[in-house]
Amino acid sequence: MKGGILAFALWGVIFALVPFAVEFLTRKSFPVHTTGAILVTGASTGIGNHAAIHLATHYPDVTVYAGVRKDVDAENIKALHLSNLLPLHIDTTDQSSMDAAVAFLHSTSLPIIGLINNAGVSTNSPIEFLPMAKLRQLLETNVVGPTYLTQQLIPSLRASQGRVVQISSVLGKVTLATRGAYCASKHAFEALSDVLRLELSGPFGVSVSVVEPAYVRTEIFGKIQQEIETLLSPELRSLYGPFFYREDQAARKKAQIAKGDSPVVTSTAIEHALFADYPKTRYVVANFAGVRADLCLFIAWMLPDRLADWLKGMM
């Protein structure tokens, strides 16, 4: 009996260590730059804002451009009085805005050593009631805009052998009811990021990493809740309310979000992706209802679809 338990424990340890061994054996080194310019999009609030401040604070020889859309957000960045943290107006749904930002970055003569594609929006609606205008806006913001911006900066990143960090989500790997549009955008973003890595890291020495957070305590969850209240038409309430918009679910969701990690976890991952000798291709960070995000993804990958669907319905 004891021998069986020990054997089971040993195999468990081996199974747990295999991913780390594989990652170590397949890791790849990239040039490390500690001077130059880094652009962080979506840096008005949340993950992007925290990352921009974190990088500027810890790397004084790097100029961090915090991408913002509003003048008030630019003033908030300036009010921090960090000489190497500068606001830059950029809207990933506006091509002319991105062109102007890229032109400005080139005019500084600083080598562009990093691009952090963080700008994004979310939505919460069953597919049946999802406005197509909302879907187009979401895909434009989360997928098309960042891809266009990356295109424009690839020549500079290739010249400097810089790095690209894509801020995705665990919902780029799994799906949840009423989050279809957001999941679709992040699934697409994951695919584009993988292709970028294939096209840039091997031939040109440009590292491409993806950060996949679960629950991180930012303003985005409050925005989602406000949107839910706006979208809940009488017909939607009658059809989907009993399944996905119950009061007990809302209370449980708030409790889960309260257990979310600080943006420190995403900023630390972004820092490693930008400055480590051996950046990872993926950083799964934070937690879901207190359970580590990487474990949640592993469980979701292991389960049959029907069983996974049932568990998601219990959330």
The catalytic residue positions are 182
**Surface-to-core class of residue 230, CB atoms within 10 Å of its CB (0-12 exposed, 13-18 middle, 19+ buried):** exposed
CA distance 86 to 72: 14
Nearby residues of 219 by Cβ (< 8 Å), 6 or more positions away: 45, 46
282: its two tokens: 């993926």
